[in-house]
Amino acid sequence: MLRLLLLLSIATNVAAAEIRVFAAASLSDALTEIAAAYEKKSGDHIVFNFASSSLLARQIELGAPADLFFSADEAKMDALQKRGLIDPRTRVSLLSNTLVIAGANITSPRDLIGRRVALAEPDSVPAGIYARTYLERIGLWRQIAPNVIPTENVRAALAALETGNVDAAIVYRTDVRSGRLQPAGGLKPAATFEIRDGPPISYPLAAVTRNPAARRFLTHLRSKTALDVFAKHGFLIR
Amino acid sequence: MSANEWQILGLTLRTAALSTLLIVPPALAIAWLLARYRWRGKSLVETLVALPLVMPPVATGLILLKLLGRRGPIGRVLDLDIIFTWRAVVAAMMVMSFPLLVRAARVAFEEVNPRFEQIARTLGASDARVFATITLPLAARGIVSGMLLAFARAIGEFGATILVAGNIPGRTQTLSLAIYHYVQLGRDDDAFRLLAYAVAIAFAAVWTAEAFLRRSART
């Protein structure tokens, strides 16, 4: 019996392990780049599920197979931790970010009044909640809310701007930096207003399962190699 | 029922009703041509009309998004915003329910005995008059049944709508979108209540549509 177990454990160690990572949409470019290099080095296979953190947290609650959860806000992680769905000892807040207003001729948040503004769903999706919190604090939310187009996640807000169906979008600075705002849309990353006094943004990471390969990848995400990639994509290292 | 639920139901029923009314003229015209005449390109039109039934709704939505967007060929010409407004909800509903009405109306027209039409014509009635007084009344039950199915399909529309209309509470959030929204928020109780309304409406529409067809089969 012991020998069988030993054999099994060797077999699983040798075979390429699969690591299932549920991560906020805003992390997609940086994580994909980190994972590609990590897969080559480790031989493990990383499967991503990129979506809004709210949707991912909900999926994990309902039993979706995730080894790691990388959220764009602490609240979603808190909710999972309270239900005992993540391992709190692995939880670490790695990154921060800031919001920008992207759109033509935007020099101040007041320019959003009367324009169609796409932002991630402001009741549940982190990027939307951050944007709403900011606009509420500066007293503009009531005027802007009637023209808000809520989207599934932060990247969808940017996509709505790229196709020209909205006038502006509130997204993370990393979304624009990743070169996703195509000049074809008549916009350059320069056409953004950086929100310097927005709410603090924090990206916590934690293990959901005991998958040892996933734990190794989690450690790798905290390494300098990985953090450098995040920094290159514009994330602030905490 | 809360004010918010009334609002969601009201928007859904209004847009679905408008969508159904708007597709009646073109759907009847195409159904009539398909039922009564043979012409070049007929099978092509038949296939095109049926496409939204079998294409992934989200793919249809993407086509609509490109066509109706501010920079799209149709959106550019029209000087009004369609995408992310109630108009986009109606447009998505129209495209997705159109095949159902065409199919039902075509069958209804085919079941009208052409002899009645010929007799009317020999008595001197014009084509328009024959259509209005003979064909249409005889096909009416089948057409109404098709309209009810189209209406039910419009209410259930999700895939194309979420792309072109967004999911904007109070403005473009229909019953289906609201259910999805609530599930995402973890508000399952609210979602289940809306689910009950959706089932009730779908049940009533299909039941009535079947009843119309049964009565037409008897007469």
CA angle A195, A200, A202 (to 5 degrees): 120
Nearest-by-Cβ selection for B184 from A58, A165, A166: A58
Structure confidence at residue A179 (pLDDT): 58
Q: Is the pLDDT confidence value at B219 over 80?
A: no
Q: Quote the crossing angle between the two packed helices A74-82 and A126-137, to the nearest 10°.
A: 120
- Quote the distance between the C-alpha of residue B219 and its chain's center: 27
Q: Which residues contact B209 (CB under 8 A, 6 or more apart)?
A: B144, B145, B146, B148, B149, B152
- Give bridge partners of residue A50 from the DSSP assignment: A23
- Residue A140 has a pLDDT of 96
| DSSP class per residue in B44-61 | HHHHHHHHHHHS-HHHHH
**Pick from A58, A61, A150: CB nearest B166:** A150
Sheet hosting strand A148-151, strand order edge to edge: A148-151, A117-120, A168-172, A99-103, A192-195
The closest alpha carbon to A94, from A27, A194, A44, belongs to: A27
ipTM of the shown complex = 0.74
**Reported confidence tier of residue A192, pLDDT bands at 50, 70, 90:** confident
Count of C-beta atoms within a 10 Å radius of residue A194: 11
Mean pLDDT of A159-186: 78
Count CB atoms within 10 A of the CB of residue B128: 8
Q: What is the pLDDT of residues A193-220, one digit of tens each?
A: 889 999 999 999 999 999 999 999 999 9
* Global confidence as pTM: 0.83
The closest alpha carbon to A49, from A76, A71, A77, A74, belongs to A71
Radius of gyration of chain A (CA): 19
State whether A151 and B168 contact (CB < 8 Å): no
Q: Which residue of A has its CA nearest to B185?
A: A124
Task: Give me the phi and psi of A170, to 5 degrees please.
Answer: -105, 115
In this complex, do A149 and B71 lie within 8 Å of one another by their Cβ atoms?
A: no
**Whole-number pLDDT of residue A13:** 53
pLDDT confidence band for A184 (50 / 70 / 90): very low
Nearest to A165 among B70, B181, B183 (CB): B70
pLDDT score of B125 more than 60? yes
Tell me, what's the pLDDT at B146? 96
pLDDT digits (tens, 9 = 90+) for A16-71: 789 999 999 999 999 999 999 999 999 999 999 999 999 999 999 989 999 999 99
Residue A178 has pLDDT above 80, yes or no: no
pLDDT exceeds 80 at position A191: no
* pLDDT above 80 for A10: no
Question: In this structure, are residues B61 and B164 in contact, taking their beta carbons and an 8 Å threshold?
Answer: yes
Residues 143-172 of A with CB under 8 A from B: 148-152, 160, 163-166
Write down the mean pLDDT value for chain B: 93
Lowest mean pLDDT among A140-154, A170-184, B193-207: A170-184
If you average pLDDT over every residue of chain A, what do you get? 89
A76, A116, A149: which to substitute to probe chain B, counting the most B Cβ within 10 Å? Answer: A149
- Cβ pairs bridging A and B (under 8 Å): 40
Query: Among all residues of chain A, which has the CA nearest to that of B85?
Result: A149
The whole-number pLDDT of residue A182 equals 54
| Min Cα separation B69/chain A (Å) | 6
